[in-house]
A and B are shown apart, each in its own frame.
Chain A
Amino acid sequence: MWLEGLFDNIFGVRWNPMYCLGGLGFFYFWIVAVSGFYVYAFFDTGLTEAYDSVEQLTRDQWYLGGVMRSLHRYASDALVIMMVLHMIREFAFDHYRGPRFFSWITGVPMTWLVIAAGITGYWLVWDQLAQYIAIGSAEWLDWLPIFGEPIARNFMQHTSLDDRFFTLLIFLHIAVPLILLLVMWIHLQRVAYARWKPSRGLSVGTFAMLTVLSLVFPAVSHSPADLDRVPQVLNLDWYFLFVFPLIDEWGAATLWVVSFGLTFALMALPWLPPRRKLAAAVVDLDNCNGCTRCANDCPFGAIMMMPRTDGLPFDRQAVVDENVCVSCGICVGACPTAMPFRRRSDLIPGIDLPGLTAATLRDKIHAASAKMSGDGRVLVIGCDHGINSKKLTAENRVVIGLPCAAMLPPSYIDYVLSKGLADGVAVAGCRSGECQYRLGPEWSEDRFEGRRDPHLRKRVPRERLSRLWMAPTEWLHARHALDEFQAGLKAATTPAGLSDLVDEASANVRAPHPNTDEVQS
């Protein structure tokens, strides 16, 4: 988190690479693909031609072919780094369990595919490194009792290899990345608004970095392969070829056990232990007019808009997929019927969280308000995954925790301030990019700024609203910010001012949705 905070300061949120590790991986994949097509155009599939063609491309056409070859290698290496960082980050932020298991278990096989794609690529150069890894791969595969004659026998002598070997390799080196691309697509199927590409600034920066690296430090081959000699000193690409020294050290059997064991352990991780399943969001059709806001805002695509089933005069209704819902409540925050001003009917919005209903939230706000008195009362709406609420509480400052800050419908802020339940409201959520549910800070900001429905009404005095998007490690910073906010409110709040504000607010209240029977306060 400290690294992300530092990068926020260096790159800004939009360019922060830590928030876009998967997207960077995709970006590197495309660089590898494009540079690979170029290199392939000059590649010759033959026992000696393979090496010669790569050498010719590297030496005679260093300014383009050589750069393309180097980009091909370095972008692949960067892809491995991004893949590993992405996995570590998702694990560290607990983004791998519950309904998110799907992205996790589809991500694990990708590690095999990426490594396999890289290894088959290194074979193609047919230099001493290729010889070493080709024999190493064959010996490793031969341990599995699924092949007849040992594959490694093909590398006993020069006469046992022919040009068709390279045709097979080319096929593998194209087929494996294509399968990888398919799995990458599947990987994103349960993620709405996936950041599969980095921001333009980050793309330009990272591409420039790879190009400079390619020019300064071009990728080169070893000596040509010679099956009569053991390669003596090898400059391994450790990002891909780390397995081969392990085969030498541990033996093929141990490496298979470790590889499969690790893979199965990673695949089983979402259930070791499983995430505590909270009740999924529920739709109340009497209050749902099929406006689609909840479906649009759901970060995991757990809400679908289906044809109406209850005869009400609306085209569609929201339907929640319980298996995909993470119970973040962002849909409640998006629902225009989650309107706390209601008096003539129960506060039942079109979509609600059984574990923390909109009505319960309103009750909690009233209870919190009752604990405060005097000037500078601040109601903090915190995120359960963000800064510990205890660290933000203070005199005349009460915190109410939500699964996600974006569960708070903007109308609740209006309600608190216009009803005089507090002098100020602070929304304290995760730092953008670190949100447990991916999009909480973005959606909240968009709603507050009027860019996304439901808007925070213009009448709400913005100086009485504080937004804190911070990591749990920044709690001290958040506390200071809240202290300043509270002090500012104390200085500004006068009984006359408050009274004026409430009167003005009451005069402006209007129903935001046909199904709400809100009353003016």
Chain B
Amino acid sequence: MKPSNSATFNAPVRYGLQVCVYAGFALLIGYFSQAPAYLPIAEGAAQIKFSFAHGGKPKGGCRDRTTAELDALAANMRKAQLCSRERVPVVVSFDLDGKTVFADSLPPSGLRGDGPSHMYEKFNVPAGRHDVSLRLRNSIRAEGWDYHTQATIELKPGQILAIDFDPGNGGFVLSSSSSGG
């Protein structure tokens, strides 16, 4: 006696029900493979991405090598200055519309603290006009700033403003295309 080992419906009903089960499964796959829709950012908002990788000045400062020291080095190693390996932390502050939204002292990377300091932050902001003030200190001094940039920007909905730091380019670099929204 094998009461439950075989399908009990007759063939047409069975195949009809199988189609229903397959259709239900297909619906489950098809629906959640692209719905419900998701809004990663509020409607009408824009985004500011603030990120850089920058090495602070050597912590112990630098001095010029003596002639004797230079002579003792191989020709390809004769760098005029001798600097300490460890770098100072990079201190950074970001004010948006008069409010500080990010301020941190970023330690140098690497086991010996000789790598660049880096950060990555993003801020969702309402589209429109914004005042941006950026400050950065990468030297030994304890007070004041080595770089300071102030700007007023106009962001359209969905537009991204990227803020990077490049001392070779004068400090903070603000870039965004005008095709936002």
Chain A residues within CB distance 8 Å of chain B: 5, 7-13, 15, 73-74, 77-78, 81, 132, 139, 142, 148-150, 152-153, 156-157, 205-206, 208-210, 212-213, 217, 219, 226-239, 244-245, 248, 431-432, 445, 466-471, 474, 477-478, 481, 485
User: Roughly how many angstroms separate A217 CA and B179 CA in the complex, as a whole number?
Assistant: 32
Are B33 and A238 in contact, with the CB atoms below 8 A? Answer: yes
A469 to B4, CA, bound (A): 7
Measured CB to CB, the nearest residue on chain B to A202 is: B18
Residues on A with C-beta less than 8 A from B30 are: 74, 213, 217
Q: Please determine whether A235 and B6 come into contact, CB atoms closer than 8 angstroms.
A: no
CB distance from A348 to the nearest CB of B (A): 33
Which of A73, A157, A239 is B175 in contact with, Cβ under 8 Å?
A157
CB of B1 within 8 A of CB of A466, answer yes
Asked whether, in the complex, the Cβ of B2 is within 8 Å of the Cβ of A469, the reply is yes
Partner of B39, one of A15, A233, A445: A233
Q: Which residue of B lies closest to A76 (CB)?
A: B33
Bound-complex Cα distance A432 to B5 (A): 7
Interface residues in B42-67 (C-beta closer than 8 Å to A): 43, 45-47, 49, 51, 53
Interface presence of B37 (CB below 8 A)? yes
Q: Given A233-B39, A470-B3, A477-B3, does the pair A228, B33 have CB atoms closer than 8 Å?
A: no
Closest to A4 in B: B4
In the complex, the answer to whether A9 meets B47 with C-beta atoms within 8 Å is no
Which residue, A208, A217, A431, A471, has most C-beta atoms of chain B within 10 A? A217
**With a CB–CB cut-off of 8 A, which chain A residues contact B160?**
227-230
Contact in complex: A234, B6 (CB < 8 Å): no
Query: A209-B23, A467-B2 given. 4 additional CB < 8 A pairs?
Result: A229-B180, A230-B45, A233-B37, A239-B32
The answer to whether A245 and B38 have CB atoms under 8 Å apart is yes
Q: Using Cβ atoms and an 8 Å threshold, which residues of chain A touch B109?
A: 148-149
Distance in Å: Cβ of B1 to nearest Cβ of chain A: 5
A132–B7 touching, CB < 8 Å: no
- Are A153 and B51 touching (Cβ within 8 A)? yes
Known: A149-B53, A468-B3, A477-B3. A74 touches B29 (CB 8 A): yes
Most buried by A among B17, B29, B41, B175: B29
CA of A110 to CA of B151 in the docked complex: distance in angstroms? 50
Q: Does B95 contact A (CB under 8 A)?
A: no
For the complex formed, measure the closest distance between the CB of A205 and the CB atoms of chain B, giving whole angstroms. 6
Interface CB pairs A-B, < 8 A, 27 = A5-B4, A8-B4, A9-B7, A9-B14, A11-B18, A77-B32, A81-B28, A132-B40, A149-B118, A150-B53, A153-B120, A156-B164, A208-B22, A209-B22, A228-B159, A230-B45, A232-B40, A232-B41, A233-B39, A234-B39, A236-B37, A239-B32, A245-B40, A248-B40, A467-B1, A470-B3, A474-B4
Asked if B120 contacts A139 (CB within 8 A), the reply is yes
Give 3 closest A-B pairs by Cβ, nearest first.
Answer: A235-B34, A150-B120, A228-B177
Q: What chain B residues lie within 8 Å of A9 (beta carbons)?
A: 7-9, 14
Given contacts A150-B118, A212-B26, A236-B38, contact A10 B17 (CB under 8 A): yes
Which residues from A are CB-within-8-Å of B177?
228
Q: Which of B6, B18, B109 has the most CB of A within 10 A?
A: B18
Contact A10 B47 (CB under 8 A): no
A225–chain B nearest beta-carbon distance, Å = 12
Check B51–A150 contact: CB distance below 8 A.
Answer: yes
B35 contacts the other chain (CB 8 A): yes
Q: Name the distance in Å between A202's Cβ and chain B's nearest Cβ.
A: 10
> Is B89 interfacial (CB 8 A cutoff)?
no
Smallest beta-carbon distance A68→chain B, Å: 16
B12 to chain A, nearest CB (A): 12
Contact status B7-A11, CB under 8 Å:
yes
**B162 within 8 Å of A (CB atoms):** yes
Q: How far does the Cβ of B38 sit from chain A's closest Cβ, in whole Å?
A: 5
- Chain B residue with minimal CB distance to A222? B34
- Bound: A227/B159 CA distance, A: 9
Q: For the complex, what is the distance from the CA of A13 to the CA of B5, rounded to whole Å?
A: 6
Q: What residues of A have a CB within 8 angstroms of the CB of B100 in the complex?
A: none
- With CB as the reference atom, state the residue of chain B lying closest to A426: B1
Report the nearest A residue to B49, measured CB to CB: A156
Across the interface, which residues of B come within 8 angstroms of A226, CB to CB?
179
A92 vs B8: C-alpha distance when bound (angstroms): 26
Give the CA-CA distance A74 to B109 in the complex, in Å. Answer: 43
Q: Pick the residue among A11, A152, A210, A232 that contacts B43 (CB under 8 A).
A: A232
Are A228 and B180 also in contact (CB < 8 A) when A157-B175, A468-B3 are? yes
B25 within 8 A of A: yes
- C-alpha spacing A320/B84, complex, angstroms: 66
Bound complex: CA A342 to CA B170 (Å): 99
Partner of A206, one of B17, B22, B46, B47: B22
